[in-house]
A and B are shown apart, each in its own frame.
Chain A
């Protein structure tokens, strides 16, 4: 009844091709944005902002990045962590080498650097396919982390090997460093995420996105209908690494403020892969849902036994978390292999008819 497009007529092509052709979707999106930009920073405490909302946003960017590569272009990658590290270290080098450079530009530049690195590691994808490629991308993961750990130039010769975000301001508000408030960090992150998500959404529903999907579904057939596999695959690697790089920079500068290369180890790559599988492959919404799920799950898992008053040692808890995590992934895959985004789609179908049976 409420969610029904009946009576909404389009009178121009541009209206027909809008991102949200249905009025209710537009209203819904406006509400979500309003809540995210206004209500959340007003209501949520600093603790909530910095332990739930900011990591959620950072992970969403990374998940969108991986989803472009794996979900849309079909190239399974296990090197996400390496590209995130690349973005984080590039941002650090830019920010310390050019202190007067605006932090937004620093982040975009660091995304560009990781895009370039991504293209280099994407070259084998032209020869190697499927799981062979997945394992080959591990090379980038291990090599990049090794590089950032071993070469002192990347950490400006700091003996601890840890990079700390220098304080930087946008419009007079500190967004990194000690003086930055959680609200400022959150809003900065959120703006980045909103813009990047919009760009990604438009990329994947346009010509480029269709080319990616054609490559994913069958690369030889795509080649025959005139899509260039070289450019298309490398573009997917570049865009994906750009997103991962920005996510890494956001992680290092906004979320944790100081970080070492080990924060981007192989477990990080798997974590992001889980997000897009649980959220839904080939869906921007899925990246957000998956990120929310993976961020909230450990918090939920550690809060439940405490709330129930069950005494559990920390090591048992860690193992239990592992078990439940693994179990849930298997459960989700069995129940809905197409992820949470698919559930939302099914829900929308139902909503269209509600409350009538037909």
Chain B
């Protein structure tokens, strides 16, 4: 009973007594959530356009960050290494489409999913072999001092990250809604066969989608890399993005953002106010349980396409 009171009421009392602290925690959660969304976006793009659940997105984040830092350490200026990394990501998209996806056309989704796990292993191994496995520092000149807005302490870096993510989503939305290629991408997402029959080349579209996902991975890699340092654990960020993904729905870009925010806030609040009572270290699973809870009510995620089943 003591434990129940301690667990249920104490944290609420704490929140009531220090509202500013609570707001700080929530803001911190929102900003972390945006970072999760950045990774989740890459998943959504590929799933929308090709129905492939791309487990390799995390590995792509790692590989983009490693390549970016690697070129920079070789003495290449940052803007040039950015362009070079973009080139690498596009080349990777080409290679994946050519070597993996094309021979596996028309296979069951689980087979394609497995193939992307294979790709994950390959990318992890290959890029770490090329660039080494030590932790690399990445500094892109964003200040990390805390900033006070209306009495709430916020990290400047997190604000910049959120702005970057917002811009990226804006650009992607524009790209999807208002360009020719974007229209083609949406058509493919809607119905592969219909898109093909009106003359949209599927294979080109897939290369484009994987390249875009690679670019998103690059942005996510740079942001996460300058936050945590560039190292293997970046690839594990993908595991943090998965609950965001199922919460928001696999097929929805706004879903990825909202899902990220919910997960970010929920996780931070639970960690600060509740975690210590049950032993701490809950960040590994809390997001999953939270997402699971939402899924019980909306099995296709908050913004996912409604699953219509016919016999």
Interface residues of A (CB under 8 A from B): 70, 76, 124, 127-132, 134-136, 138-139, 142-143, 145-146, 149-151, 218, 220-221, 224, 266, 270, 273-274, 277, 281, 315-316, 318-330, 333-334, 337
Report the Cα distance A221→B115, complex, angstroms.
29
Q: Which of A131, A270, A330 contacts B122 (CB under 8 A)? A: A330
B113 A131 Cβ-Cβ under 8 A = yes
A132 B299 Cβ-Cβ under 8 A = yes
Q: Of the listed stretches B72-80, B188-196, B263-271, B284-292, name the one at the interface; the rest are far from the partner chain.
A: B284-292
A130 B288 Cβ-Cβ under 8 A = no
CB of A266, distance to nearest CB on chain B (Å) = 7
* Nearest opposing residue in chain A for B284, CB measure: A142
A330 B281 Cβ-Cβ under 8 A = no
Prevailing SS type, chain B contact patch? helix
Q: Which residues of B contact A150 (CB under 8 A)?
A: 278-281
A128 B124 Cβ-Cβ under 8 A = no
Q: Which residues of B contact A334 (CB under 8 A)?
A: 100, 103-104, 115
6 smallest beta-carbon distances between A and B, as pairs: A322-B125, A326-B121, A326-B122, A329-B118, A139-B288, A142-B285
Q: Which residues of B contact A221 (CB under 8 A)?
A: 311
Q: Which residues of B contact A151 (CB under 8 A)?
A: 279
Interface assignment of B5: CB less than 8 Å from any CB of chain A:
no
Interface assignment of B53: CB less than 8 Å from any CB of chain A:
yes
Q: Beyond A76-B113, A131-B246, A318-B125, list 8 extra A-B contacts (CB 8 Å).
A: A128-B299, A132-B295, A135-B246, A270-B117, A277-B111, A320-B129, A325-B118, A329-B115
* Nearest opposing residue in chain A for B129, CB measure: A319
Q: Which of B124, B133, B284 contacts A146 (CB under 8 A)? A: B284
A143 B119 Cβ-Cβ under 8 A = no
A325 B121 Cβ-Cβ under 8 A = yes
A146 B281 Cβ-Cβ under 8 A = yes
Interface assignment of B250: CB less than 8 Å from any CB of chain A:
yes
* Nearest opposing residue in chain B for A144, CB measure: B285
Report the Cα distance A324→B121, complex, angstroms.
8
CB of A118, distance to nearest CB on chain B (Å) = 15
B288 A333 Cβ-Cβ under 8 A = no
Q: Which of B118, B289, B299, B309 contacts A327 (CB under 8 A)? A: B118
Tell which of B103, B114, B128, B250 has the most Cβ of chain A within 10 Å.
B114
B121 A322 Cβ-Cβ under 8 A = yes
Task: From known contacts A132-B295, A132-B299, A151-B279, infer whether A142 and B311 are also in contact, taking CB-CB under 8 Å.
Answer: no
Interface assignment of B228: CB less than 8 Å from any CB of chain A:
no
A218 B285 Cβ-Cβ under 8 A = no
**What are some 12 contacts across the A-B interface (CB < 8 A)?**
A130-B109, A136-B291, A136-B295, A146-B282, A151-B279, A322-B121, A322-B125, A322-B128, A326-B118, A328-B118, A333-B114, A334-B115
Interface assignment of B174: CB less than 8 Å from any CB of chain A:
no
Task: From known contacts A136-B246, A143-B285, infer whether A220 and B309 are also in contact, taking CB-CB under 8 Å.
Answer: yes
Task: From known contacts A129-B307, A146-B285, infer whether A277 and B114 are also in contact, taking CB-CB under 8 Å.
Answer: yes
CB of A226, distance to nearest CB on chain B (Å) = 14
Task: From known contacts A76-B110, A333-B104, infer whether A323 and B129 are also in contact, taking CB-CB under 8 Å.
Answer: yes
Report the Cα distance A315→B134, complex, angstroms.
11
Tell which of B125, B128, B289 has the most Cβ of chain A within 10 Å.
B125
Q: Which residues of A contact B113 (CB under 8 A)?
A: 76, 131, 134
CB of A312, distance to nearest CB on chain B (Å) = 11
A266 B239 Cβ-Cβ under 8 A = yes
CB of A238, distance to nearest CB on chain B (Å) = 19
Interface assignment of B296: CB less than 8 Å from any CB of chain A:
yes
B95-121 CB contact bits vs A (8 Å, 1 = yes)?
000011001100111110111011111
Report the Cα distance A323→B126, complex, angstroms.
6
Q: Which residues of B contact A329 (CB under 8 A)?
A: 114-115, 117-118, 121
Q: Which of A127, A145, A322, A333 contacts B115 (CB under 8 A)? A: A333
